[in-house]
Amino acid sequence: MFLRTKLSVSAIILSLGACSATALAQQTQPASPAVSVQQPGRDGLARRGTRRRARFGRQRALAQVNLTDAQKQQVRTIIQTQAQSTQTQRAELRQLMQQWRTGTLTPEGQTRAKELRQQLMESRKGVHAQMQSVLTPDQKAKLQEMRESRRANHEKLGRRKPPLN
């Protein structure tokens, strides 16, 4: 009985602490600068979650094709090499995105962000090609079968969304 009361009081205190922390974390927005830029809303968070789910999906897919230890090491090396080679581009893009969030991104910055995104996309395509070269024909076939199954399932459930362009 005493333990239950103690747990209830603890739960109430924790929930009140969370509410007050949320209230303290909210700050007023600074006055918008002269450049009017649309601020990211829920869509930005949704895209970030989509990217995260896609990354974990790729990891799950690679786990299901039963890579050998040598293949796993090759994939790790490919990913690490790509991460190191694109580190400066990703850092610059993060700075530009921060400017966009604050509303201080210039038209030149927008152009540069598009260029960086294009470069990073090309780099990801190269990584994909390198990873495909690591797989055996049987593993490639299994991966293709999993991809087709996933697409069919998405279409069946009506979850297929047009690309954002």
Domain ranges of the chain: 67-159
Q: How many CB atoms lie within 10 A of CB 49?
A: 10
pLDDT at 25 over 50: no
CA atoms of 50 and 56, how far apart (whole Å): 10
As to burial, measured by CB atoms within 10 angstroms (0-12 exposed, 13-18 middle, 19+ buried), residue 29 is exposed
pLDDT number for residue 22: 46
The proportion of the chain whose per-residue pLDDT surpasses 70, expressed as a percent, equals 59
pLDDT at 32 over 50: no
pLDDT at 89 over 90: yes
pLDDT at 41 over 90: no
Task: For the full predicted model, state whether its pTM sits above 0.85.
Answer: no
Mean pLDDT of 8-28: 51
pLDDT number for residue 54: 56
* Residue 12 confidence class, pLDDT cut points 50, 70, 90: low
Annotate 87-110 with b (16+ C-beta within 10 A) or e (fewer). Answer: eeeeeebeebbebbeebebeeebe
Query: What is the rounded average pLDDT for all residues in the chain?
Result: 75
pLDDT at 150 over 50: yes
pLDDT number for residue 113: 94
Phi and psi torsions of 65, nearest 5°: -90, 5
20: number of CA atoms within 13 Å, CB side? 6
CA atoms of 10 and 1, how far apart (whole Å): 14
pLDDT at 146 over 90: no
More confident residue, 112 or 12: 112
Q: Residue 63 is encoded by which pair of tokens? A: 């786990």
